[in-house]
Amino acid sequence: MRFTFYTLGFLLLTTGLFGQLKVESSVVNGKSSSERVALYFTVTNTSDSEKTFYWDLDRSSDMPSDWELSVCDTNTCYDWGSESCPCDEPAKLAAGEEYTFIVNVNPNGIEANYGVDFRILDKCEDSKVLDSGKLTYNISNAAASEKPRTTSSSIVIYPNPTFDTFEVTEDSSIKTIAIYNIVGKKVMSVGHKAGQFHDVTSLDEGIYLVRMLDATNEVVKVIRMTKE
């Protein structure tokens, strides 16, 4: 009976771990003549504590070998060909934080429709996959005729890191910007209009959470911002 309880406890613990980091699947259309087609998607920490993790890209077996990939994670944007997280630079997400990752593809003129799995790993080597999302690239010679649908994954702030100001992409629904420091204290709250820049020169250097709210004060997205 003791073994049964221990086994059950272990299963509950591992199930909880696996459910703490969620990867959003996403799709992007692009031109084969482009040097960079950016696909935005979110990784969310659904737990109540900070999580440190690793990632890698698992290409489909028939993806063109000439397609180059690069990743922007919570630390930096890596060079072309970097398809796994450096062991000395794990990604981090605060409790409840949603962060927009970017996986770029350089098609090198090759037209194709293929996908890659973005995988969340618990360790740098000999890792277990905690979660994964399918990233699909529809690369053609002609531009897509349909305007991509705006989703939370297409909302980013830039530049990030920032020294003085930042702006927000796909911001038509955002009416308020609220900024919190790492201990959860609100340090700034301002109204927002599409295309507006926000001055953060008064903030100290460090990590902040930028909450974006719509007209009903519902949170549209939360992004971690570095002030340098």
Nearest Cα to 141, choosing from 35, 31, 2? 31
Distance between CA atoms of residues 50 and 119, nearest Å: 18
Per-residue model confidence as pLDDT tens for the chain (228 residues): 444 444 444 444 444 444 588 998 888 888 899 888 888 888 888 888 899 999 999 988 888 889 999 998 888 888 899 899 999 999 988 888 888 788 989 999 999 988 899 999 988 876 789 899 999 999 988 644 444 444 566 788 988 889 899 999 888 889 999 998 877 788 999 999 888 899 999 999 999 989 898 888 888 888 889 998
Query: Whole-prediction pTM value?
Result: 0.60
How far, in Å, CA of 85 to CA of 90, rounded?
7
- Fold exhibited by the domain 155-227: Immunoglobulin-like (2.60.40)
Phi, psi of 18 (to 5 degrees): -65, -25
Per-residue pLDDT at 15: 42
Phi, psi of 12 (to 5 degrees): -65, -40
* C-alpha Rg value of the chain to the nearest Å: 19
CATH 2.60.40.10 residue spans of the chain:
22-140, 155-227
Distance between CA atoms of 71 and 83, rounded to whole angstroms? Answer: 7
Fold of 22-140: Immunoglobulin-like (2.60.40)
8 A C-beta contact, residue 37 and residue 134: no
